[in-house]
Amino acid sequence: MPSTTKWFSSSIPGSRNGRAPRDWSSLKGWERRHSVLEGDVRAIVETVGKPDAVGEYFFRDEYILNYLIGTLRIPYIALIDGITMGGGAGLSVHGQYRVATERTIFAMPEVNIGLTADVGGSYFLPRLEGRLGTYLALTGHRLKGRDVLKAGVATHVCDGARIGELEEALLDLQFACPEDVAAVLQKFHEEATFSKDAPFSLQPVLPKIQSCFSGATVEEIFRNLEKDGSEWALKQLEILKGMPPSSLKVTCQVLKRGAHFTLQECLTMEYRTVKRMYKEHNFSEGVRSVLMDRDNNPQWKPKTLEEVTSERVDEYFAPLPNEEDLEF
């Protein structure tokens, strides 16, 4: 069993030395977990088609945990002090509280490795301001530090040097009520000094994100960016043209549907798409290009948007055969 899957299965409730009260749960440790998740992505690719294929249970276990986090009846606190991408995002964004530091880097890079926005991304991304979620999902743009809060991904911030102090303050809350947890988080949030007066780095281009990424299709988004013609727009167009066309189209559809779905419906939909996509050429090619050879020169199949028909996209969303759909 991959190390991340073991970690998933023991993530809730959080505790340390038996001190954590049972009426809240926390999760931390992002820098180390990022390398663990990267290793398991490789394991998924290397075992495709084998009897013990990691992907056959990895995504199922991951999505079920995402759902459990999103439906917890106690406060769940994610201390996202470091790299928070992919699986790390799914383990944080569905919780009630997400605390970022100056070291936090948040992104949804799935499209760049031949998959689609998953771990509940189809649920939380469309619920960010305007078309910001679509922009983050399609481009893989990285949010850093206080920008994670300003984008609506984090709920609080804390100076990185005080994360341990914050955790101790939370652990000292024996039989805490939700109001006590909220008060501790708010105190550290208000006392955080890093980038306190810095504006949201994406603020100047939010109108462009709204106008360009509001297209109903990937082709329309491309046309909007071309029509805009600004340096920023042309840069985003260049980024998108380097992504796998099938992942772009599936992701656009995933976000459109997810805007009207419950978290459970979103995870069921994502499971259908990812269960199919991880077995295809683009996922192994994306992992090779980004994580293994690191040449950033992927050879996608198909290569053009025109080759990815609407009928082909719909096939990714069909119920899985042999009662393989995700069960909660």
User: Which of the residues are catalytic?
Assistant: 39, 87, 110, 118
> Residue 153: how many CA atoms within 13 Å on its side-chain side?
31
Complete edge-to-edge strand list for the sheet that includes strand 105-107: 83-85, 105-107, 143-144
Give the span between the Cα atoms of 76 and 94, in whole angstroms: 9
Contacts of residue 208, defined as CB under 8 A and 6 or more positions apart, other chains included, come to 228, 230, 232, 233
Reduced 3-state DSSP string for the chain: CCHHHHHHHCCCCCCCCCCCCCCCEEECCHHHHHHHHHHHHHHHHHCCCCCCCCHHHHHHHHHHHHHHHHCCCCCEEEEECCEEECHHHHCCCCCCEEEECCCCEEECCHHHHCCCCCCCHHHHHHHCCCCHHHHHHHHCCCEECHHHHHCCCCCEECCHHHHHHHHHHHHCCCCCCHHHHHHHHHHHHHHCCCCCCCCCCCHHHHHHHHHHCCCCCHHHHHHHHHHHCCHHHHHHHHHHHCCCHHHHHHHHHHHHHHCCCCHHHHHHHHHHHHHHHCCCHHHHHHHHHHHHCCCCCCCCCCCCHHHCCHHHHHHHHCCCCCCCCCCC
Phi, psi of 58 (to 5 degrees): -55, -55
Please check whether residue 220 is in contact with residue 185, taking contact to mean a CB–CB distance below 8 angstroms.
no
